[in-house]
Structure 1
Amino acid sequence: MLIINNYDEFAAHAGKELGVSEWHQINQQQINQFADATLDHQWIHVDETRAVEEGPFKSTIAHGYLTLSLIPYLWKQIIDIRNLKMEINYGIEHLRFAQPVTVNSEVRLKVKLVAIANLRGVTKANIGIELEIKDQRKPAFTGEAVFLYHFIS
């Protein structure tokens, strides 16, 4: 795990891969709980029988936004940013969903520090993100997560 204590330590990794998370399996229970939380009960996600019989993937698939919601959990497996007053999820740029994640697939996050800037004491980090699917050529998604870090002076 990469440990970062301040802006200078973070900036030293600009343009470099920061690492990859552990594999995480997305099961039907997690998909159903996400559907309940977001009120998105589209059959391709929650109706296992119909998904097998009628769906193009012959199984249910995870919501795209479920896969995105794993970013903070998987990110924390890669990097430990210390000495913070606050951190903010600022945005996601250039996001593209490349392939659906079928139920019981394993995914992991691969990250790179694309850009970093010191904005009057606030660190803005653009992190290249790719959610890999085990045994699949194409990722679930690619893009850039943007975080703001307020380091303790």
Structure 2
Amino acid sequence: MHRIVAMRNFSGLDELVSAKGEHLGYSEWFDLTEERVEKFAAAAGFSTQEPGFRRAAEGSAVSTVHPGCLTLGLLPSMMRAVFTVERARSGVNFGLEKVRFPCPVEVGARVRGGAELSGAQGVPGGWLVSVRMTVQIENERRPACVADTVSLFLV
């Protein structure tokens, strides 16, 4: 596993919150290899041979697509690659508001995440920060996933 270096580093939560409405950047490309799909399935407790785990892509009986939850599992790594916040005691995944999967992702594709800071709400001890993550598929017009994430940053 390689070390991820964030493209944008905020000195603190006040600086992050002031970036509301800005596109923060893109992660590096992630290869969705057969091995990654197999490891994801094993970690999730099911077999890639189970009916419904994968399906043929539209118009093809050979290509297979991976489940959307694998794409969701990549979001934290993608977000860390886009931005970091110094002087925050911790940052944790608080949840998801809305998730859509407009386009299936074939095994062997490359994806990357783009982050837009869509909101920030002060809470006791920190901030709830909303980031819209749009996962792009290399050489595909439609995104693989659009997810409105919520993270809790504590001071």
Aligned position for 2:45: 39
Query: What RMSD in Å do the two structures reach over aligned CA positions?
Result: 2.2
> For 1:45 and 1:119, how far apart are their aligned partners in 2?
39
Aligned position for 1:82: 86
Note the alpha carbon deviations across 1:61-90, whole angstroms, 9 max, x for none.
122111100011111111121222221100
Q: Is the 8 A contact 1:31 1:45 kept in 2?
A: no
Aligned position for 1:100: 104
Structure 1 residues 149, 57: closer, same or farther in 2, change over 3 A? farther
The alpha-carbon deviation at position 51 of structure 1 amounts to 4.9
The alpha-carbon deviation at position 37 of structure 1 amounts to 1.2
**What are the within-5 Å matches in structure 2 for residues 109-148 of structure 1?**
109-148=113-152
> For 1:94 and 1:16, how far apart are their aligned partners in 2?
19
The alpha-carbon deviation at position 60 of structure 1 amounts to 2.0
TM score, norm. by length of structure 1: 0.87
After the TM superposition, list the runs of 4 or more consecutive aligned residues in structure 1 that deviate by more than 2 angstroms. Answer: 39-46, 55-58
Listed as ranges, the gaps of 5+ residues in structure 2 are 1-6
Question: Which among 27, 30, 36 is matched to residue 30 of structure 1?
Answer: 36
Secondary structure at 1:84's aligned position in 2? Answer: coil
Q: Is the 8 A contact 1:32 1:45 kept in 2?
A: no
> For 1:142 and 1:148, how far apart are their aligned partners in 2?
20
Q: Is the 8 A contact 1:116 1:123 kept in 2?
A: yes
Secondary structure at 1:70's aligned position in 2? Answer: helix
Count of matched residue pairs? 147
Structure 1 residues 57, 136: closer, same or farther in 2, change over 3 A? farther
The alpha-carbon deviation at position 31 of structure 1 amounts to 0.4
Counterpart AA for 1:77: A
Listed as ranges, the gaps of 5+ residues in structure 1 are none
The alpha-carbon deviation at position 122 of structure 1 amounts to 1.2
Counterpart AA for 1:147: S
Q: Percent identity?
A: 28
